[in-house]
Amino acid sequence: MFSILKPFLFNLDPETAHDLAIKSLKFNPFPSKAFNVEDEQMLKIKLMGHNFPNPIGLAAGFDKSAEAYNPLLKLGFGFVEIGTVTPLKQLGNAKPRVFRLEEDGALINRLGFNNDGMLEIKRRIKLGEKKGILGVNIGPNKDTKDQKNDFCLAFENFFDIADYITVNISSPNTEGLRDFHDQEKLKDLIEDLIDVTNTQNLIEGKFNVEIL
C-alpha cells in the first residue's frame, strides 16, 4: 500500500503528509481483522501487569494529541504512545520543522511539543474508549516557569487513564529540558512524581511506591 501512496505523499511537504495521515486514520477505515496475523498469539507478553498482544509499538511523536490511537492499534501495534503532551496547548516551533532525508529513509523532527494540551487530550481519550495498551508521553510547556511542576501536573492528570506514562527529558527543542539528565535533578523529579503516585494510590486504596 505504501509503495502506491509514496509518490503522492512525497510530493507533499512532510508535515502536511503527516497531518493527512492522521486525518485519514481518524475515519477508522480499516476492518478489525484486516491486519490479523496467523499464530499472532505467540507474540503476547505480560509487562507491568498489562497484557500486550505483541512487543512492537508506535512511539510518541506520530499521534501527538490522541486523535488516531485506536485506528493505529487496529493496524497491529502492540501498544501506541501518544504525545508529547504538555499541560497547556502548544503550537510548537515555527515551520518548516520537519525535513526528509530520503537517501537515509529518515526524517529530522523539530516540531517542538506541538499538541492540543493536557485537558483536551484527556477528554478525547475518555471519549474514545481505548481498544488496547495506551502510553502517554509527557513534557513541560516551552514557556513554563516550572518544568518540574508541568511534569507533575501532566502525570497526575493521566495517572488514571494511561497504561503507562513516559517522562520526556530528551527533547533538544525545549530549553533546559536536558538539565534533568543531571543525576540529582532527575532524582528530585522522580521523587515528586512518586509523591503524585502515592497520593493517587492513597485515593484508590493501593500501596505506596518508594525510591531505593
Q: Answer whether residue 197 is part of any domain.
A: no
Does the active-site annotation cover 171? yes
Q: Answer whether residue 190 is part of any domain.
A: no
Q: Answer whether residue 172 is part of any domain.
A: yes
Q: Answer whether residue 117 is part of any domain.
A: yes
Q: Answer whether residue 205 is part of any domain.
A: no
Q: In this predicted model, which residue has the larger pLDDT, 45 or 201?
A: 45
Query: What number is the average pLDDT over the span 158-174?
Result: 94
Query: What number is the average pLDDT over the span 189-212?
Result: 74
| Domain interval for residue 79 | 2-31+44-178
Q: Answer whether residue 198 is part of any domain.
A: no
Q: Answer whether residue 183 is part of any domain.
A: no
Among 59, 54, 98, 103, smallest CA distance to 82 is for 59
Per the structure, the count of domains in the chain is 1
* Whole-prediction pTM: 0.90
Query: What number is the average pLDDT over the span 114-138?
Result: 95
- pLDDT tens digits, 31-79: 666 667 778 889 999 998 899 999 999 999 999 999 999 999 988 899 9
Cis amide prior to 96 (ω within 30 degrees) = yes
Q: Answer whether residue 58 is part of any domain.
A: yes
Extract the C-alpha cell encoding 42.
505467540
CATH of the domain at 114: 3.20.20.70
Query: What number is the average pLDDT over the span 5-25?
Result: 84
Active-site residue identified among 24, 32, 170, 171: 171
